[in-house]
Amino acid sequence: MHTMVRIRRITKRGQMKIQQMSFMLIAVTFLFILVGIFFLSIRLYSLKKTATNLEEQNAMLLVSKLANSPEFSCGNAFGSSRTSCVDFDKLIVLKDRISDYSGFWGVAKIELRKIYPGEEDILCDEKNYPNCNILKLLDKKVNTQPATSNFVALCRKEKTEAIIYDKCELALLMISSESKK
Amino acid sequence: MKKNTRDLAYISRALTPRNRSGVLDISFGWLFALIAGAVIIFLAIYLSSKLIGTEKETVSAETGKEIGILLNPLETSFESAQTTSISIPTETRIHNTCDETGSFGRQVIQLDQKNFGKWTKTEVDVSFENKYIFSNKEMGGKKFYIFSKPFSFPFKVADLIYMSSSNERYCFMNAPEEIVTELTNLNRSNLITKNCSLSDIKVCFSGNCQINVDYGAGSVKKGGKIVYFAGTGEDSKTLMYAAIFSDADVYECQLKRLMLRVKELSQIYGDKSVIVERAGCENNLREDLAKLSSLADGFGSSTELELIKLQADDVAARKEVGICILW
């Protein structure tokens, strides 16, 4: 009788210990999971920040050179070769084919805005061209960083009753990179 | 008697050591600490090794992306060539891969870096659609020399980037005067035209060496493979350098990518010709540009380059006849 009581007491104590151990293991596991999630979120944030910085750096370096790329540049179409000169006639055509170029420059937005002469904002399309002043060339529907810009000469062929001449206006070429944050 | 037997059993139980099996008496606290400690140490070692691996991959991917971004200023406007160099603090192997799928294909860069004397292989690809890097499939070193030249066919198509490691020195033997002048003007220590040493990679314009250039026929023989180059007007050197500095596979793939861009630009100029015609600029180039676009679309390998060049030359000649110049 005495032995039976003792065995029961030992079994109960054993069960308590097993319960205590399993609770402790669960608590320790949770603690590690929480620490892991916390660490991963910090790491992920820092990675996203680096990716955004790199995209921004790309946009900054690209904006100064984009006007010289074949799809944008005037070449010799307006007399002699010019630097930072954008061919408006070419861009309005490019706007219709922009789906092929969606990932080409690695940026989220490319926009051109005539700044002189100052007029009310009219978005350019094939119908109202050239009587417009904002050309949204590429616009991915994503979160973007503030735009980086560069002044360019926006040139096109213009006709009066008697002559065909080159008309160049001052414009701002703006590029926005995707924000990964 | 019974009482005596019970007493004896009690004494014998009392005298018997508690640890009957003869092994250590481990309490619950110890057992838990051992199991939990082992699990924690195992997890810590496993996770930190994984983390170091991921960190190395991240650094390689970041460096790859930075290299691509640093190539942006190599876009030319008036210049016939631009030159720069990239220095990386650790020993690096750059893998140049070209992918011709999609609208313009992709330039893929993959970096392996040396850490504690061991190469860390990365699976992360950094890709760019607007870059054309001509180099060997694999380059190793800490410093890389780069120069770029515009490629026109007959309009400007892209800036070609030629990349080589500072560990490799190219010696151009018996090169035509214009090439000697151009290489001298580039002022790159790994591109020489005289006093070749045994370890140099020799580029011969006559005779037989590692890289043989037939300037007249427009072909380059490298590693037993022959690739062809051409250019409109007087500029055929741009693709010649590309063939010299890159492996045959890389050259053929990049050429296909360039032709994809020729195709797209021909269509853009074709549509532009319609717009400028509205402004009174007759040019009659649309059909020729459409033909060039279709030839570029069907481009298979550099053996077909001469055929497309004929059409490109034709377009270039007709461009001068129109009232307004398209490019």
Q: Do A54 and B66 form a contact (C-beta atoms < 8 A)?
A: yes
Q: Under an 8 A CB cutoff, do B325 and A77 touch? A: yes
DSSP A144: B
pLDDT at residue B5 in the model? 56
End-to-end CA distance of chain B: 125
SS3 assignment, position A123: strand
pLDDT at residue B163 in the model? 96
pLDDT at residue B143 in the model? 95
Q: Under an 8 A CB cutoff, do B36 and A54 touch? A: no
pLDDT band at A15 (very low <50, low <70, confident <90, very high): confident
The conformational region for residue B158 under phi > 0 = left, psi -120 to 50 = alpha, else beta, is beta
Write the residue in B130, B264, B272 that is nearest to A100 by C-beta.
B264
Q: Does B101 touch chain A (CB under 8 A)?
A: no
Instruction: List beta partners, residue A169.
Output: A154
Q: Residues of B numbered 4-43 whose beta carbons fall under 8 angstroms of chain A's beta carbons: which are they?
A: 28, 31-32, 36, 40, 43
Q: How far is A147 from chain B (nearest CA, A)?
A: 17
pLDDT at residue B251 in the model? 97
- Largest pairwise CA distance in chain A: 125
Chain A residue nearest residue B57, CA to CA: A47
Instruction: List beta partners, residue A109.
Output: A139, A176
Write the residue in A62, A81, A164 that is nearest to B72 by C-beta.
A62
> A8 vs B106, which has greater pLDDT?
B106
pTM value is 0.85
How many other β-carbons are positioned within 10 Å of the β-carbon of residue B47? 13
Q: How far is A76 from chain B (nearest CA, A)?
A: 6
- Alpha helices (H) in A66-157, listed in sequence order: 88-96
How many other β-carbons are positioned within 10 Å of the β-carbon of residue B304? 16
pLDDT at residue B308 in the model? 95
Q: How far is B112 from chain A (nearest CA, A)?
A: 19
ipTM of predicted assembly, 2 dp: 0.83
Q: Under an 8 A CB cutoff, do A28 and B324 touch? A: no
Q: Under an 8 A CB cutoff, do A159 and B280 touch? A: yes
Domain ranges of chain B: 57-256, 257-319
Q: Do B305 and B313 form a contact (C-beta atoms < 8 A)?
A: no
> What are the chain A neighbours of B130 within 8 Å (beta carbons)?
69, 104-106
Amino acid in the structure at residue B130: N
pLDDT at residue A140 in the model? 93
pLDDT at residue B235 in the model? 73
Sign of CA dihedral B92, B93, B99, B104: positive
Mean pLDDT of A29-40: 91
Digit-coded pLDDT (tens) for A61-120: 999 889 999 999 999 898 877 888 999 999 999 999 999 999 999 999 999 999 987 778
| Lookup: tokens for B28 | 């619950």
As a residue count, chain B comes to 327
CA A54, CA B10: separation in Å to the nearest integer?
A: 81
Question: CA nearest B241: which of B282, B269, B211, B209?
Answer: B211
pLDDT at residue A180 in the model? 79
Q: Under an 8 A CB cutoff, do A70 and B261 touch? A: yes
SS3 assignment, position A148: strand
Q: Does B269 touch chain A (CB under 8 A)?
A: yes
Residue whose entry in the numeric block shows the structure tokens 């406007």: B77
Q: How far is A115 from chain B (nearest CA, A)?
A: 23
Query: HSE (CB half, 13 Å, CA atoms) of B12?
Result: 6
The set of residues, in sequence order, having a beta carbon less than 8 Å from that of A119 and lying 6+ positions away, is A133
Angle between helices A2-65 and B28-70 (to 10 degrees): 10
Q: Give DSSP secondary structure letters for B22-73.
A: SS----HHHHHHHHHHHHHHHHHHHHHHHHHHHHHHHHHHHHHHHHHHHTGG
Sign of CA dihedral B312, B317, B321, B324: positive
pLDDT at residue A107 in the model? 94
- Alpha helices (H) in B232-285, listed in sequence order: 237-245, 248-278
pLDDT at residue A120 in the model? 84
Chain B residue nearest residue A87, CA to CA: B327
3-state SS track over B218-230: CEEEECCEEEECC
Q: Residues of B numbered 59-88 whose beta carbons fall under 8 angstroms of chain A's beta carbons: which are they?
A: 62, 65-66, 68-70, 72-73, 75-78
Question: CA nearest B78: which of A28, A67, A152, A19?
Answer: A67
Residue whose entry in the numeric block shows the structure tokens 């427009």: B218
Q: Do B127 and B241 form a contact (C-beta atoms < 8 A)?
A: no
Q: pLDDT tens digits for chain B (327 residues)?
A: 455 555 555 555 544 555 455 556 777 778 878 888 898 899 889 988 888 888 888 888 888 889 988 888 887 777 788 899 999 999 999 999 999 999 999 999 999 998 888 888 888 889 999 999 999 999 999 999 999 999 999 999 999 999 999 999 999 999 999 999 999 999 999 999 998 999 999 999 998 899 999 999 999 999 899 999 999 876 778 999 999 999 999 999 999 999 999 999 999 999 999 988 888 888 788 999 999 999 999 999 999 999 999 999 999 988 877 778 888
> What are the chain A neighbours of B77 within 8 Å (beta carbons)?
68, 73, 81, 83-84
Q: Give the mean pLDDT of chain A.
A: 89
As a residue count, chain A comes to 181
* Interchain CB contacts (distance < 8 Å): A and B: 112
pLDDT at residue B4 in the model? 56
